[in-house]
Amino acid sequence: MFEQAVKSAAKQLRSGDVVVLPTETVYGLAANAFDEKAVAKIFEIKGRPAHNPIIVHVVSLDMARSCVTAWPDLAEKLARAFWPGPLTLVLPRAERIPSIVTAHGPTVGIRWPSHPLAQAIIRECGLPLAAPSANPSNLLSPTTVEHVVKALGDRVPLVIDGGQCQVGIESTVLDLTVSPPRVLRPGIIHDEALIAVTGTLSDRDAQQGQAVKSPGMLAKHYAPRAKLMTLNWRNDRELRQQILNTSNSLAGCHVIAHSVIPSAEGFDRVSVIPHDPEAFARALYAELHCCDELGAKVIIVESLPKTSEWTGIADRLKRASAT
Ligand code: TXA
Ligand code: MG
């Protein structure tokens, strides 16, 4: 099965077609990163704006180096610390990566995914793969094959099933073309973990107001269809009162809690994700997909702790709730 899936995916990719494949973060819609026409299909299928660059996936440090024109010591250190894994490094683009991949910009995002199927497919192709998340632009990323099929359906010729994604939110994107390095998209590899290797990071607050360098930083992104709000409550009564104050009724509300679990009475549904950042990230998108599926009007998520490990998740909730 594994071998069969790898062979058919690689064949398809080498012939210039796209394939949906699992990674440890979210499912990706992949194409040969050297093939401009194949990459154009990704933009078309996703309805992705041409100004949004795509991450290139590799399976070795050599392959990573072959996609860039500079490989600073810091890249080597970070790659050795976090690859294979959910960290994307932004570096100067090599000529052989067509400019459609990088949205015609001078840099390319590179990552070595840890999912065994993703690795085996890239290895079998012998090519780096350009792959954004396998969802229509701006919507929720898929963390199961069912999410992919529902969102992209017959628009993709081949979908490889690798089970539920283990990380569950998209990779941390780190820009190494500036000094100190700058986090363009927070993820499960958080600032403290990065600083242990880099020593410093550019101050996130100082970034406010700077030109948007990564479209994943746009205010509205990663959004379910339902309206999403985060609220903080000490007990049931406080939660219900706050919802009524926003002039929403309890019916139509889906509550996602992790610490103070309310009773389900009056709500369409109450679900619980363990109070642990990794477990929370793994389950979050599946929960949000499920709320949409069940026709939720409003999704209420219990607000998150303010510590470093939660910043990637907090970032996605903020963008999902932007109007
Ligand atoms: O975990 C992930 O990163 C998943 C899996 C499939 O690897 N991919 C993913 O791709 O989330 P996508 O396209 O949905 O998000 C990529 C993000 C976008 O915010 C994009 O703007 C940013 O990375 N990005 C990619 N290349 C970049 C570059 N050269 N400079 C700045 N930002 C870049
Ligand atoms: Mg995406």
| pLDDT over 70 at 216, yes or no | no
Question: What does the pLDDT read at residue 323?
Answer: 76
| pLDDT over 70 at 214, yes or no | no
Average pLDDT over the chain, rounded to an integer? 94
Question: What does the pLDDT read at residue 282?
Answer: 98
Question: What does the pLDDT read at residue 154?
Answer: 87
Which one of 170, 210, 316 would you pick to mutate in the ligand 1 pocket, going by the greatest count of ligand atoms within 8 A of its CB? 170
Segment 204-215 shows an average pLDDT of 59
User: Which residue would you say has higher pLDDT here, 193 or 223?
Assistant: 193
1 band by pLDDT with thresholds 50, 70 and 90 = confident
* Ligand 1 proximity of 302 Cβ (cutoff 6 Å): no
* Ligand 1 proximity of 28 Cβ (cutoff 6 Å): yes
Q: What is the tens place of the pLDDT at every residue in 168-190?
A: 999 999 999 999 999 999 999 99
Question: What does the pLDDT read at residue 206?
Answer: 64
Distance CA 171, CA 111 (A): 9
Q: What is the tens place of the pLDDT at every residue in 19-54?
A: 999 999 999 999 999 999 999 999 999 999 999 999
Task: Spell out the alpha helix ranges (H) of the chain.
Answer: 2-14, 36-46, 61-65, 73-82, 116-125, 145-152, 191-198, 204-207, 236-245, 277-293, 311-321
Distance CA 211, CA 33 (A): 27
Q: What residues sit around ligand 2, an ion, with C-beta below 5 angstroms?
A: 133
| pLDDT over 60 at 208, yes or no | no
Tell me the ligand closest to 23's alpha carbon: 1
Tell me the ligand closest to 53's alpha carbon: 1
Segment 312-317 shows an average pLDDT of 96
* Ligand 1 proximity of 26 Cβ (cutoff 6 Å): yes
Helix (H) or strand (E) holding 230: strand 227-231
Tell me the ligand closest to 84's alpha carbon: 1
User: Which residue would you say has higher pLDDT here, 207 or 120?
Assistant: 120
- CB-count burial class (<10 Å; 0-12, 13-18, 19+) for 28: buried
- All domains of the chain in start order, with CATH: 2-207 (3.90.870.10), 227-320 (3.40.50.11030)
What is the share, in percent, of the chain residues with pLDDT greater than 70? 95
- Cα of 297 vs centre of ligand 1, distance in Å, is 29
Tell me the ligand closest to 132's alpha carbon: 1
Look at the block and give the residue holding tokens 């299928």.
45
* Ligand 1 proximity of 105 Cβ (cutoff 6 Å): yes
Question: What does the pLDDT read at residue 138?
Answer: 87
Rama region for 179: left / alpha / beta (φ>0; ψ in -120 to 50; rest): beta
Segment 148-155 shows an average pLDDT of 93
Beta bridge partners of residue 89, listed in sequence order:
110, 174
Count of other CB atoms within 10 angstroms of residue 164: 14
213 band by pLDDT with thresholds 50, 70 and 90 = low
203 band by pLDDT with thresholds 50, 70 and 90 = confident
- Cα of 138 vs centre of ligand 2, distance in Å, is 7
Distance of CA 47 to the CA centre of its chain: 17
Which one of 214, 220, 222, 319 would you pick to mutate in the ligand 1 pocket, going by the greatest count of ligand atoms within 8 A of its CB? 214
- CB-count burial class (<10 Å; 0-12, 13-18, 19+) for 61: middle
Question: What does the pLDDT read at residue 205?
Answer: 65
- Cα of 12 vs centre of ligand 2, distance in Å, is 22
Question: What does the pLDDT read at residue 207?
Answer: 62
